[in-house]
Amino acid sequence: MTSYRSTRQATARAIASAIALALATLPAYANAADADASTAPTAAAPEPEQADAQDVDAGTMPYQDRVIDPASLPPTEAADSHAPYDDSGLPRSFNAEAAYSHGEFGDDRYREYGVSVGGFRETARWGTWSLQASVSRRDDDRADVAGGSANDGDVTGAGTLWQRNLAMPGQWRADNGAGVLNTPTLPLLREQYRFFLPSTTYAGLSSEWQNGASGLRLQGGGGRIGHYTGTRLLGFETDDGNVGTLGAQWQWDRGWSSSATWLSSDGRLVAGDEGQAVIEDGRSHAVHAATAWQGADDRVQVNLLASGGDAGDARGAWIDARSERGRYTHNYGAFHLGEGLAWGSYPINNDTQGGYYRIAYQFARWSWNAGLDRIESISGDSFDGTYATAYARYQASSTLGYGGSLSVRDGDGQAVGTQWFLDKRSDWGTTRLQWDTARVSDGGADSWQASIDQAFPVRAGSRLSATVSYGELAYDDAPATRATSLAVYGGHDLTDRLSIDGQLRWTHGDGPSALRGSNANIAVNWALNPRWSLSASLYQNQGTQRSPFELDPLGQDPLFMRLPRERSAFLVLRYERDAGRARSVIGGAPGAATGAVRGSVFLDDNDDGAFNAAESTVSNLTVILDGRYAVRTDSQGRFEFQDVAVGAHTLTVMPDNLPLPWYIDEASTEQGIEVRVREDLRIDIPASRPR
């Protein structure tokens, strides 16, 4: 009965929407009919037994379907604002923010205020220019221990200017950047299956040139190494030392391509005494070379890496291969990574050798994969053993799916991790029941956790999901700690101009290693008029933890520290202005119909591909539409492109600032999307980690 009622209500809503659309477009049809009445052919009258009696009596024609050209639709309410609009020139956009925050970090109280500007401008000859910049000042009320005075007036800032899609003679195109950047990486350096070479953040210049005829790609960049700072307003502080890189990639034959990259940097990121990230003095330089062959169903890539510097010289090599045979996909390879191998500032896998194999199958209701790694320490001081994984999922019906995964590590003691899950769609929304376990034999550590993820079905303009978990977690031979967690994520459009969004997480532990923490991020957004908006948000965070269910011996150990309480309140006044033909339609011709693309980048902790309430988002990642228009994810991991032309587009995520060992797979890094008329297309992009 409930299913029938839901279907009936959905049908009624669809009929009401169709009636509303017909009423909205009736004047346009009437005008068109008057204009074409003299030339339009007369429609054939229906057969008497097929005609509706009321239509015959009224002398009217029965309903006939008509195809509506998207370009002829009237403007949407949001686009048809009362603000004057400049429709001259090519598309361009500008935004500015003034922000104030007041907060606490442990015993430290501070005030932070500043401004940020951003936008883009498309030109006929010089490509598309985009800018993101901010400057802020932080006043610290905490008295200095030595001098007894407050820290007054630390000013930081960050800015990035990009020129993308610059057309040059000879089928060359260039992307040039200045400001706070990440070292550029070639496609062959990014396309790694088992290993990841991270980029380094710096303040300087970057340039990449690509030739469409020869397949040659050149890139380089360099500047002062540093790290991001700030809370609501992004800042950047330079550290001691520089970073520089040069690279080239060439498609020298059908299916064949090669690349070489040189990277030199000062400093190395290591874990401090409390698990925090600190930069250690020391210069390092490295060279990566790769050659790949790509066929219709097969791919092979050979990688060579050499590094040197104050920490010594090291060499490494690995080969990755991929084969597709019917419904089966095979990935396999071998590696030898010398002790002390380095790449820039970040730690990478080293002092290990071995091989791996993965097989995956997907057809109809079944999907499964399995893998095996054999790992040996070159020096004898790191992990020696075997690592195996297996995963399976069965879609029993359109509303029910279930499965599980198994991870086994044998070497330096045995460890076993399992995950069992059930996904169910119902009138209550989408539910996931999950059970995780991990057992390490040598220390007697035995962890388990049960969780429920629920995404509720809510009306348009609202969103609501929740996660509840309870378990006993054990770390590093310590006795188990009982932990309960609750997370809620949601939002609601209170009016056409007022909305609220937020995420709340709470953790309570009971035991020798108990973690008691909370995280709250709530924002209220008010559109004062079509160009001005006001946002207020509250943020509080205390405590962090790593997961005992991560068993991959090649994954970098996650940094673990307990943070003091941090809380802050933000107030942001924002101004936006668009101009140009077709109301700044992104990727379309003047007069084209539009939609919007918005979404988030998040850490997919349970690996289900869906953004759950307990999962964290990733800020300050660059998202690019069609290789031309770039934005950064905000403090809540969100991005947005307004006025995107109807049709096919490409969405690219630059995973440069992802925390290790998280990565975004190739399918999510660059994906094709389809925008429909007046659609708000939602794209949540998951980041995964080795399991």
Query: What torsion, rounded to 10 degrees, do the Cα atoms 671, 677, 679, 681 define?
Result: 0
pLDDT band at 35 (very low <50, low <70, confident <90, very high): very low
pLDDT at 588: 63
pLDDT at 584: 53
Average confidence (pLDDT) over 616-621 = 81
pLDDT digit string (tens) for 395-431? 999 999 999 999 999 887 788 989 999 999 999 999 9
pLDDT digit string (tens) for 37-66? 343 333 333 443 444 434 444 444 454 555
Query: What torsion, rounded to 10 degrees, do the Cα atoms 542, 606, 599, 179 define?
Result: 60
pLDDT at 394: 96
pLDDT digit string (tens) for 164-198? 989 888 899 999 999 999 899 899 988 888 887 88
Q: In what order do the strands lie in the sheet with 638-645?
A: 638-645, 594-603, 680-687
pLDDT at 628: 78
The more confidently predicted of residues 69 and 468 is 468
Q: Residue 34: enclosing H or E segment and its boundaries?
A: helix 2-36
Among 11-15, 70-74, 396-400, 671-675, top mean pLDDT goes to 396-400
Average confidence (pLDDT) over 315-339 = 95
Spatial contact of 456 and 449, defined as CB atoms under 8 Å apart: no
CA–CA separation, 156 and 115 (whole Å): 11
pLDDT of 342 over the 80 cut: yes
CA–CA separation, 522 and 539 (whole Å): 7
Spatial contact of 594 and 644, defined as CB atoms under 8 Å apart: yes
pLDDT of 487 over the 70 cut: yes
Average confidence (pLDDT) over 323-332 = 95
- The percent of residues in the chain predicted with pLDDT above 70, rounded, is 75
pLDDT of 216 over the 90 cut: yes
Among 88-102, 223-237, 367-381, 493-507, top mean pLDDT goes to 367-381
Q: Where are the domains of the chain?
A: 1-66, 92-161, 169-314+329-339, 581-691
pLDDT of 163 over the 90 cut: yes
Average confidence (pLDDT) over 669-673 = 84
One-letter amino acid at 169 equals P
Spatial contact of 644 and 587, defined as CB atoms under 8 Å apart: yes
Q: What b/e readout covers 539-578, taking b as 16+ CB neighbours within 10 angstroms?
A: bbbbbbbeebbbbbbbbbebbeeeeeebebebebebebbb
pLDDT at 273: 53
pLDDT digit string (tens) for 496-547? 889 998 888 888 877 766 667 778 888 898 999 888 999 998 887 766 555 6
Average confidence (pLDDT) over 595-606 = 84
DSSP state of 54: H
pLDDT at 259: 97
pLDDT of 77 over the 50 cut: no
DSSP letters along 176-238, please?
EEEEEEE----HHHH--SS------EEEEEEEEEEETTT-EEEEEEEEEEEEEE-SSS-EEEE
DSSP letters along 82-95, please?
SS-----SS-EEEE
CA–CA separation, 198 and 194 (whole Å): 13
Average confidence (pLDDT) over 128-132 = 91
pLDDT of 432 over the 70 cut: yes
pLDDT at 296: 92
pTM, full prediction = 0.76
Please tell us whether the domain made up of 581-691 is placed in CATH 3.40.50.300: no
Count the helix, strand and coil residues of the chain and give each as a percent rounded to the nearest 5.
10, 55, 35
DSSP letters along 6-27, please?
HHHHHHHHHHHHHHHHHHHHHH
DSSP state of 610: S
pLDDT digit string (tens) for 541-580? 766 555 666 666 666 554 444 556 678 888 999 998 888 7
pLDDT of 652 over the 70 cut: yes
pLDDT at 443: 60
pLDDT band at 278 (very low <50, low <70, confident <90, very high): low
Question: Average per-residue pLDDT in the chain?
Answer: 79
